[in-house]
Amino acid sequence: MMTSSDAPALPLWIGGRAFLTVTPGFFDLADASGQVRYRVPLGGADELAEAVRSCQRALPGWSATAPAERAARLLALAESVETYAGHLVKLITEDTGAAMDAAQAEVAAAVAALRAAAGTLETKATSQSPEVVAVMADSTRCFEGLVAKSAPVLAFGGVVILKPSPRGPSAAVALAELATRAGLPDGAVNLVHGDDALVAALAASPEVARVLFAGEEALAVKLRQKLGDRLVAA
**Domain segments of the chain as ranges:** 12-233
Tell me the pTM. Answer: 0.94
User: Rounded CA gap, 97 and 82, in Å?
Assistant: 21
Scanning 160-195, the segments in alpha helix (DSSP H) are 170-181
Q: Which of 113-122, 124-133, 164-173 has the lowest mean pLDDT?
A: 124-133
Is 93's pLDDT higher than 90?
Answer: yes
Name which of 2, 178, 149, 159 is nearest 75 in CA terms: 178
Q: What is the mean pLDDT of residues 12-20?
A: 95
* CATH code that applies to domain 12-233: 3.40.605.10
- pLDDT above 90 for 102: yes
Give, rounded to a whole angstrom, the gap between the first and last alpha carbons of the chain.
Answer: 40
Whether the CB-CB separation of 175 and 139 falls below 8 Å is answered with no
Taking the CB of residue 60, how many other CB atoms lie within 10 A of it? Answer: 12
pLDDT at residue 33 in the model: 80
For the ranges 26-35, 44-53, 69-78, the lowest mean pLDDT is seen at 26-35
Determine the pLDDT at residue 6: 79
Mean pLDDT, residues 159-178 = 97
Maximum mean pLDDT: which of 77-81, 94-98, 119-123: 77-81
- The pLDDT value recorded for residue 129 is 76
- At 4 the pLDDT is 59
Q: What whole-number percentage of the chain has pLDDT above 90?
A: 84
At 1 the pLDDT is 40
- pLDDT category at 122 given cuts 50, 70, 90 is low
Q: Would the pLDDT of 24 be above 90?
A: no
- Compute CA distances 231 → 166, 211, 224, 228, whole Å: 19, 5, 6, 6
**What share of the chain has pLDDT > 70, as a percent?**
94
Predicted confidence (pLDDT) at residue 146 exceeds the cutoff of 60: yes
Confidence at 2, pLDDT banded by 50, 70, 90: very low
